[in-house]
Amino acid sequence: MSSDKSETEAYTEERRLLEVEQCEPALEAIHAGEYETAKEIFETLADEGNLTAKLDLARLHLRELINLPDLGLAVSLLHEASNLGMSDASDALGSVYEDGEGVAQNLAQALKFYRLAADQASTNGMFNLGRCYLFGVGIKQHTANAMIWLGKAAHSDHALACYWMGGLYVNGRHIEPDRTMAANFYERGAVLGHSYSQNKLGIFYQDGTGRDKNLKQAFHLFRLSADSENEWGQFLLGCMYLEGSYVEQDFVPAIELFTLSAEQGLVDAQVKLGAMYSKGTGVPVDRARSIELYEAAATQGSAVANFNLGIIFLNGDGVKQDVDFGVRYIEQAARLGMIDAKEVLLTLKKQYGIDSAETPTLQ
């Protein structure tokens, strides 16, 4: 089934709103977990030509939320809706061909449908087309074209596109770094409620890069992010309480925020909280809890956590001394590039004859 732009019809906003209203009973059934009921409603509406119903029915099949899902039917429904000008269906087809879901993976076809979705004014289609150019998906990598489409998506209020554009200007990958432009895109994303953009913009205000230094604004942005349960927002806000930056130093909210962040698996929070339990900063000293947190961070590749665990076992600090165990942690920290760990290994060799493959050559 062809889906060239020249063969598609216009899918008006007025029609979309009417179709969404007709689909409300099915959407309510989905929210209640009654997927078979939703399927029956969508099927009736799809037969009547409702494109939103075709799209949502295809999603039920693709996500295998119903009995006897038919991926071939799902793809056919998406083609029908795409041919009739529905940009969301075109974008969904791009994902189907990119992932090889119900069809053979075909990146060229994925790119074609993302481009069609973008031409049909799909903000997500613009984002995906930009992503393809950025990473060379189905086409040669081209940062300038990526930024054109990601920029269009960002200016159409695609929050993730705002975040990505900010990152491109910060990193200066194939372009000249521009922290002011980065801040502008992060601000747009922050206004849209994108928590990671709020974090990045907050750091800019905190450091005075891309924006004039403003700790009050940084605190506000970190608070917004933390309130949305973003792990980095929780960590950054916790650091402001711990350091007494803009607010009075207060270990209680710092501990609470670091705990929330650590429970979400953020390494920085696990290490920070582990140090607080180790030193008794704002909490009673708890070696077992400290080790538990360091171990969680170490398994995720934290050099600092590995180093701290190594020192704990080398010294028998709250645990039975185990030099071999300690050396293994220090070695891992050294492998991760930590200079202090390499220096410790050198000291162990000089003083105790303990050798390691990670020990620097003695001068």
How far is it, in rounded angstroms, from Cα 155 to Cα 169?
15
pLDDT score recorded for residue 245? 96
CATH H-level, domain 123-211: superfamily: Tetratricopeptide repeat domain (1.25.40.10)
Residue given tokens 């403003």 in the structure block = 214
Q: How many CA atoms lie within 13 A of 328 on its CB side?
A: 5
How far is it, in rounded angstroms, from Cα 138 to Cα 107?
5
In order of 150, 195, 222, 223, the CA distances from 198 in angstroms are 19, 5, 7, 9
Query: Please, are residues 84 and 11 in contact by the beta-carbon 8 Å criterion?
Result: yes
Query: Please, are residues 194 and 159 in contact by the beta-carbon 8 Å criterion?
Result: yes
Fold exhibited by the domain 1-121 = 1.25.40
pLDDT score recorded for residue 359? 61
pLDDT score recorded for residue 4? 43
- Token duo for residue 119: 């031409």
Q: Comparing 1-121 with 123-211, is the CATH topology the same?
A: yes
CB-neighbour burial class of residue 36 (10 A; exposed 0-12, middle 13-18, buried 19+): exposed
Parse the chain into domains and list their residue ranges: 1-121, 123-211, 301-363
pLDDT score recorded for residue 349? 84
Evaluate if pTM is beyond 0.85: yes
pLDDT score recorded for residue 10? 76
pLDDT score recorded for residue 173? 72
177: nearest Cα among 132, 130, 209, 140: 209
Query: Please, are residues 40 and 12 in contact by the beta-carbon 8 Å criterion?
Result: no
User: Which one-letter DSSP state was computed for residue 141?
Assistant: -
114: nearest Cα among 140, 135, 137, 144: 137
- Token duo for residue 345: 């290994």
What one-character-per-residue DSSP string does 300-320 give? TT-HHHHHHHHHHHHHTSSS-
Helical ranges in the chain per DSSP H: 13-31, 35-47, 51-62, 71-83, 87-99, 107-119, 123-135, 143-155, 159-171, 179-191, 195-207, 215-227, 231-243, 251-263, 267-279, 287-298, 303-315, 323-335, 339-352
User: Which one-letter DSSP state was computed for residue 122?
Assistant: -
pLDDT score recorded for residue 358? 64
Q: How many CA atoms lie within 13 A of 162 on its CB side?
A: 24
Question: Long-range contacts: 76-83, Cβ < 8 Å, 24+?
Answer: 76/1, 77/46, 78/54, 79/1, 79/3, 80/1, 80/51, 80/54, 81/51, 81/54, 81/55, 82/3, 82/8, 82/113, 82/116, 83/1, 83/2, 83/3, 83/7, 83/8, 83/9
Could you list the mean pLDDT of each consecutive 10-residue stretch along the chain, which spans 363 residues? 47 94 98 98 98 98 96 97 96 97 95 97 97 96 96 98 97 87 98 98 97 98 98 98 97 98 98 97 95 97 97 91 93 96 90 70 44
pLDDT score recorded for residue 360? 57
